[in-house]
Structures are given as C-alpha cells and as structure tokens.
Amino acid sequence: MNNPLLQNSDLPQFEKIKPEHILSAMTTTLDDSRDLIKKLENIEKADWETLVKPLELIDDRISQCWSPVRHLNSVKSSDELREAYTACLPLLSDYSTEISQNRKLFNAYQSIADGAQFKELNGAQQKTINDALLAFKLGGVDLSGEDKQLYQAIQKRLSELTTEFENNVLDATQSWELILSDTTRLKGLPEYAVSMLLQYAEQKSLEGYRVTLDMPCYIAVITYADDRDLRHTIYQAFTTRASDQGITDEKFNNADNLVEILNKRQEKAQLLGFKNYTELSLQTKMANDIDEVLNFLYELAEKSRPAAKQEFEQLKDFARQEGLEDELMAWDIAYYSEKLKQQKYAISEEDLKPYFSDNLVISGLFKIVEKLYQITIEDISSSVQRWHDDVRFYQIKDSSGEIIAKFYLDLYARNGKRGGAWMDECVNRYVIDGKIQLPVAYLTCNLTPPIGGQPALFTHDEVITLFHEFGHGLHHMLTRVDVPEVSGINGVEWDAVELPSQFMENFCWEHQALELFARHYQTGDPLPEELYQKMIAAKNFQSALQMLRQLEFSIFDIILHQQKEIQNEAQIQSILDNVRKKVAVVIPPAFNKFQNGFTHIFAGGYAAGYYSYKWAEVLSADAFSAFEEEGVFNKETGQRFLECILQQGGSRPAQESFKCFMGRSPEINALLRHNGIEE
Ligand code: ZN
C-alpha cells in the first residue's frame, strides 16, 4: 500500500501526501471503521474494554488520516487539494451521523452508565461516557424514521454550506489586489510595509507595489496610509468580501449561504426538540442558559458604553484638530486612532517592532513557559517532513527530561493560507495498553513575514496572537489525561476553551516576561524602560470601544441563532442593525457586510458561541490575578495552574478545574480592571 495517509507513521508524511491519496484513504478508513463497528454492535456485555476502547482506536485512526488533510487544506491550498478535501466532507458527515444515530451503540453506552462498572471507572472515563451519551442525543439517536433521514440530510447540507462559506471568504480575499506603480499613494506607510508590498508584487512577478487583503497588508494600509481614498478603497474591499456590495467578485457572495446555514441549524435544533439553535448550542457549554449569557453580555456592555462613548468623542475631536473637514468615516478610525495614540502616549507600533523579532520572541515565549511549568522546548525541525520551509517543529520535555509532546509552528502570512491564527490537533494524547501516544499540535498564524533578508518584526498585537495560540497548544500538549476523548482540549466546554489561550496573552504585558524576549534585533538592547511605561499607559487605549465591538458580535450571534426562521439577507442585516443600536457606539457604513465573512460563527465552531471569548476572558483574567498577587513566575502558582487546568483537559467540568486553581468561582472584576474600565 503506497498511500501515505494509510501508513502507520508517527507524524504525517507531508512531502508525500498528494491530492489523489485523499479520497481513497478516507473511503478505506471509513469502510474499515464501519466493519469494526458492525462487530461491536453485537457484543454481549458492553464495558470499557469491549466497547469504548476499540471505538477509541477507530476514532483515532480516522483522526490521524483526516487531520493532515484538513490542515493542508488550510495552509497550502490548491484547486486539486480543495477538490479532494471537499469530496470527503459528505463521507465524513454521513459517517458521523451514522455513529451518533446508532441505537445499538447508544444502548451499549447507556448500559455502561447504568451498570456496576461505572463507579469503578476513573473521572476521565466517566466523563467520556457521559459526553458520549450527550453526543448521541444531540446527534439524533432518539429520532425515528423520516426524522432520522431529515437530520442526516441537514448535517450533510450544513457541512457543504459552511465549507462553501469559508471558501468564498478565502477566494474573495485572495482575488482582490491593487497594483501601484510607485509609492505616491503609499505615503505614511512605514518602511517595512512598503517593502512588504514590493515583495508581494515580486512574488507574482509584477512590477510596482501590490496591495492585498492579507491581514498584515490590510492593517498597515488602514492604519498608516495618508491617502484617504486608498484607505476607503481597501476598507470597502475588505468589509464587503463575499457580498454583493463589494469590489471583489460577486460570485463569492455568501448571502444565500448565510440564510440557508441559519435555517438548517434551526431545523436541526427543532428536530432535536430545542426551541432554537442557541439553546442547542448551550448544551455543551459551561454557561447554563441563554438568559445567563445575554445578561452577562449586556452587563459588560452597560459597564463599557460610557467609556466607549468618551473614547469615540475624543477621537472625533482629534480628527477635526488634525484637519479632517468632513465626518470621521469607518476608514479613518484606525488611521486617526494611531495618530491619537502617538500624540497621547508618544508611542507607535513602529517604535516597538524592532524589539519583537521572530526568533527572540519565540525563544522568550519558550523561556516563559519553561519557567512556569518546568518544561524544556527543543527545535528538531530538520528531523521531520514539513509542508513549507518556513515551518518549524519542536519537542517538549518535562522536568525529568522525558519527551511529552511535539508541535509544528507555521508563523507567516503567505499565499494559499487561510487567514487568522489557530491551533489544531495533529495527534491526541492517548494511552493504549500502557503505550503512550504523544500529543502533537499545529500552531498556525498569519504574522508579518521576514522582509528583505531581515528577521520578521512583529507588532505587539502579533506577539499577543502568537502567545494566544501557544496557550491553546499548551492545553493540548501538557495534558496528562490518557483517554483521547477528554485529553487536551477535547471535551472542554467551548466557552472555557479560551481560558489557557487568553491567559497567555497577559505575559505580553509583564515586565519580567518582556525582559526575556523584547530586545532590539540589531543592537540587542532591552526594551527601554521609557518605552515600556508608554506601552503600559497605552494598553487600555480605546479598550472600551474594542470591548463593545466584541460584545456586538457576541450578542448578534446569540440573537441570530434564536430566530425561528430567516427569510432573507435583509432580516439578518436588520438584526445586526438593532444590536448595534442597542450596544455599539461606532456604526459602520451600510455597505459593510462583515457578517458575510464572519467565519467564526458560519464556518467555525463558534455558532451561538462567539460569546465564549468574553466568557473565558473572565476566567483567564481572574486566573491571572492569582499570578499578579503571588508573583508572575511563582513556581507554585504555575504548578497549580498546570495541574488544575492544563493537565486536566476535558476530564471534568471547567467549573471544577477553575475552582481547583482559584479555590472559588470566577469573578468579573479582574477583567474590568485589566481593561481599565473599572477599578
Ligand atoms: Zn483562541
């Protein structure tokens, strides 16, 4: 057998995997799984050994075949790869629906839960059984006849629609470019950004400067370009991606997908006996019900709104003083905000960038977690197959020198790579018959690439992004749970998943942490104290406005998924408009179709769950306050965080893990304090 996806290797053979391997590997794997499950359906006495253990093995095999495919489709997309990937989606969706609707398997799990063995199982095993029972119910095991088929059809359609949604966003993003023959219109842009645009043009064998909608490019232009028309143009292109409003191609319009995705989700929720999709979504969350979530969001909004209004008024005044004659428009906000920030705090992102060069940031990040959790991290990139030369590969050792995890790190923005930053599982920690399968993670970012032979210089925001994803990575990799369904981030309630990631962001502001990596890339000088003080002073610049933006998205998401039926695109817009009326201080222009590119909720896992960021930020801010009190690098506090939270994964409810660390339930104060909104 020559298919690299079917060979039993410890790590994916990225150099050998070709699009033509994908469909046949998945078909074979799923068919084999079905045969094995047929046998399991008829076992006489179901227990952990006879039922759960073999099923875990089956799941793990599927995951190891599919995970590299899903990953490659995100980081090294091509038409052939996408086609093969898309062809597998209905197969996977069918398979997963079949399993969750398999009555015999459900009964077998139920008999374990009801039987005498259950009490003898450890916590992780018990949680696995309970999670599985819930998954069966949410997967439609109780449905009969036609309803069962209807459910299957909905799942299949949803999988197609969400993929199409995401593809449209990626294609719309990549289809747009603006070629400038000289730098006249690029006045105001920092030198690195101009070089980046030159490099973008060179990569396509073009003359001049190529402006794209890649994150590093968009941010640079919208923040620094003096040319107001250019800012307007890029803002319009960016915020109308995948819509009918745009200057990007209308064939990528997501309007119909939006409507159908929402209706299919409602249909599914109602079929399962829920009032609406939000109610269904909250079944697997830490939050108890919709009221609790909405009250939480509105309370934060109410506390942030007065400060946000002030921040916006101040910005408008400033723009006027700077000579802006007409109204402050959406494409002026980042530009004048940056100038105001410079005036108030005499600090610009550009001042900081020389202190955040890629290799120093990475080694500093490693030193921080090495201090906190008594681990060591080693670069072993040359020992494995990678999908791009820029990708690095590392192993983590615990205090006794034993290897406990590995990870890939793919840092820079590049063509063919999906936008954003994320952590994904490559291999799950799993102990089978005493043999440990080590966890492996993919950490993917779209940070500013190295330009003109210099090391890559990051903005502070980019450093925060890297720390954030690394926090997810640690959750996946430092787990000590042996059962794959609840090891690492598996089985963690979705609204608690961002705890370890947002927790890590705090270190980007700590003096003692910055000392470990913020050094000038040319001179090696540490970040000057004066610059650090300015950075801290500017930390909460417009934080209330940012808070409101996140709350606006969160509330929109919850309410949208509460609707019984969505008639058309206009209805979605009017829901969004109403939320903005209630919550927002800044109202974007009518052409802005941000929702058409809102992949988190329409293509990712955040449907009726975008609030999770804020929810978990309460947890992470609160948890970090223990480090503020006990010492940022306090070994005992680090050890407690490791043992109570990171190592536990989804083996118990997040509330319990939090209480283990803090000795009490979460409180909202630390979040408001960190944002400078309330003392
Ligand atoms: Zn995250």
Pairing between β-strand 440-447 and β-strand 422-427 as defined by DSSP bridges: antiparallel
Neighbour-count burial for 158-191, b at 16+ CB within 10 Å, e otherwise: bbbbbbbbbbbbbbbbbebbbebeeeebbebbbe
For the segment 46-67, the average pLDDT, to the nearest whole number, is 95
For the segment 351-362, the average pLDDT, to the nearest whole number, is 96
The active-site residue, picked from 469, 498, 505, 617, is 469
pLDDT category of residue 415 using cuts at 50, 70 and 90: confident
In Å, the largest CA–CA distance within the chain is: 81
For the segment 579-596, the average pLDDT, to the nearest whole number, is 96
CA of 64 to the centre of ligand 1 (A): 23
Give pLDDT, residue 399. 93
144-158 confidence digits (pLDDT tens) = 989 999 999 999 999
Give pLDDT, residue 452. 84
615-657 confidence digits (pLDDT tens) = 999 999 999 999 999 999 999 999 999 999 999 999 999 999 9
CA of 614 to the centre of ligand 1 (A): 11
Give pLDDT, residue 419. 85
Give me the residues paired with residue 378 across strands: 395
450-487 confidence digits (pLDDT tens) = 988 899 999 999 999 999 999 999 999 999 999 999 99
CA of 136 to the centre of ligand 1 (A): 27
CA of 67 to the centre of ligand 1 (A): 19
CA of 301 to the centre of ligand 1 (A): 22
Q: What's the CA gap between 644 and 656, in Å, rounded?
A: 9
For the segment 108-119, the average pLDDT, to the nearest whole number, is 95
CB of 59 closer than 8 Å to CB of 484: yes
CA of 604 to the centre of ligand 1 (A): 12
**435 membership: H or E segment, kind and range:** strand 435-437
CA of 469 to the centre of ligand 1 (A): 6
Residue 119 tokens, joined: 């009490």
CA of 327 to the centre of ligand 1 (A): 35
For the segment 181-209, the average pLDDT, to the nearest whole number, is 95
CA of 473 to the centre of ligand 1 (A): 10
Give pLDDT, residue 249. 78
Give pLDDT, residue 42. 87
CA of 344 to the centre of ligand 1 (A): 31
3-state class (DSSP) for residue 432: strand
CB of 469 closer than 8 Å to CB of 421: yes
For the segment 61-77, the average pLDDT, to the nearest whole number, is 95
Compute how many other C-beta atoms are within 10 angstroms of the C-beta atom of residue 380. 12
CA of 501 to the centre of ligand 1 (A): 6
CA of 445 to the centre of ligand 1 (A): 12
% pLDDT > 70, the chain: 100
By the CB criterion, residues less than 5 angstroms from ion ligand 1 are: 498, 501
**211 membership: H or E segment, kind and range:** strand 209-212
Give pLDDT, residue 270. 97
% pLDDT > 90, the chain: 92
For the segment 387-405, the average pLDDT, to the nearest whole number, is 97
Give pLDDT, residue 350. 86
Pairing between β-strand 440-447 and β-strand 403-412 as defined by DSSP bridges: parallel
Helical segments of 322-382, H only: 330-345, 349-352, 358-373
3-state class (DSSP) for residue 625: helix
Give pLDDT, residue 1. 61
Contacts of 31 (CB under 8 A, 6+ apart): none
Helical segments of 346-459, H only: 349-352, 358-373
Is 493 among the catalytic positions?
Answer: no
Give pLDDT, residue 679. 56
